[in-house]
Amino acid sequence: MRRRFVVQSLAALALAPAVAGEGSQVLGQEATPPAAGQDGLPEGVSARVVASGWVDITSPGRATMDLARIALAPGSSAPFGSETGAAALVYVASGELTFRVGVEVTVARRPEPGTPTPPEPDAVEAETDFVLRDGDSTLFPPGVVGEVRNDGSGDAAAWVVTLGLAAADAGTPSP
């Protein structure tokens, strides 16, 4: 699962596994993930799905949704690309992460304490480096490819929520 996270969907920062069955399903993970550098992840990068599920939607398919946590040690990076076509909402929980993606995006900056409303989102042009800091967020559209790096001196972590569509006959997800 971690290998698929980096290879297929870190760009969209999306884990949208193929799913099948009737109705809806929710999956969770209680185990501690292995140390960084294992399971095909670049050195200094870790990822773990903390919740995952699917729900039938209008025919012919279903929507998949995942909640994942990614962590990058200082100096580490990971390319990403979404072959799944999932959209990803990224919220930086700690540290700073530098992104470069192939499409224009907007970045919502954390409001300053005591500010009644958050600032207007920043527009970021395609193929431009941008930094998300603690409390900042962005929404990647489906199919985004790019790179995430930790150029800072401390660890950085983000929560990622993905939403994608999968064909109803896509098969059963692998554990």
Confidence check: pLDDT of 156 > 70: yes
Q: How confident is the model at residue 53 (pLDDT cuts 50, 70, 90)?
A: confident
Using an 8 Å Cβ cutoff, are 72 and 97 in contact? yes
In terms of average pLDDT, the best of 6-20, 34-48, 64-78 is 64-78
pLDDT value of position 80: 84
CA gap 92, 72 in Å, rounded: 11
Give the DSSP per-residue string, 91-153. Answer: EEEESEEEEEESS-EEEEPPPPTT-SSPPPPEEE-TT--EEEETT-EEEEPTT-EEEEE--SS
**6 phi, psi to nearest 5 deg:** -75, -50
- For the chain, the first-to-last Cα distance in angstroms comes to 8
Strands 61-72 and 77-81 come out as: unpaired
pLDDT value of position 39: 61
Lowest mean pLDDT among 1-5, 98-102, 149-153, 167-171: 1-5
Of 81, 88, 3, 91, the C-alpha closest to 47 is: 3
Residue 40, CA distances (Å) to 15, 21, 49, 53, 171 in order: 15, 29, 15, 24, 23
Fold of 2-167: Jelly Rolls (2.60.120)
pTM: 0.70
